[in-house]
Chains A and B, each alone.
Chain A
């Protein structure tokens, strides 16, 4: 059974940093692209970033160099380094797995980790 577990969220002051982690199990982690999606309170889903199985990375326009996605295939871990955080980054952050190697649809999601940025 696929299992994704995020951690690292919390309360941080504006301008601060956080590192989110996502522990994966139940599938061959190194063979799948992985993504981060966020959801602000009461708002819709917003895609953040993706890292392919080969390590290629892509980001949403709003990231503007503040966020860095990475992965450690030896430990089945996905990360999101978040710097220069602002109130607009307050959201639940989900990690998710691609349903197929190159199909941008996400069939397994973690429970999410809440990031709250105080201004």
Chain B
């Protein structure tokens, strides 16, 4: 069982904004400076969207943003587009390992 909890699914209409949460209750998990987010389309390789809570790698749309508050990190996608429909995973770390959340399926209605 992952120490990072994500909702199994979220949905939104084109143009809307959605937020995916990632929560930990484990004291072993890092203090969240190293939260990252990945997008994975079916049958495709994961793509890094956010690292260190809110940094976007080169080439990632500004519609994707990350934040954190307490033990919960969040990925917000604004101006939802059909191509954003995918699975999203958060990730963090402990002192000796990396952990992934269980993943959230985003459906664009």
Residues of A bordering B, CB below 8 Å = 35, 37, 44-47, 50, 58-61, 94, 99-100, 103-107, 109-112
Asked if residues A107 and B96 are in contact (CB atoms below 8 Å), the reply is no
Q: Total interface residues on B, using CB and 8 Å? A: 24
CB-CB under 8 A from A94, the residues of chain B are: 45-46
Give the distance in Å from the alpha carbon of A39 to the alpha carbon of B51 in the complex: 21
Contacting A at CB under 8 A, from B33-64, are 34, 36, 38, 40, 45-48, 51-52, 57
Which B residues fall within an 8 A CB radius of A? 2, 34, 36, 38, 40, 45-48, 51-52, 57, 87, 89, 91, 93, 96-103
CA–CA, A46 and B36, complex, Å: 14
Residue in B48, B51, B100 whose CB lies within 8 Å of A44: B100
Q: Are A60 and B45 in contact (CB under 8 A)?
A: no
Q: Which residue of B47, B87, B91, B103 contacts A104 across the interface (Cβ within 8 Å)?
A: B91
Query: Which chain B residues lie closer than 8 Å to A47 at the CB level?
Result: 91, 97-100
Report the nearest B residue to A44, measured CB to CB.
B103
Establish whether residues B45 and A111, one from each chain, have CB atoms under 8 Å apart when the complex forms: yes
Residue of B nearest to A46 (CB): B100
Residues of B within 8 A of A109 (CB): 45-47
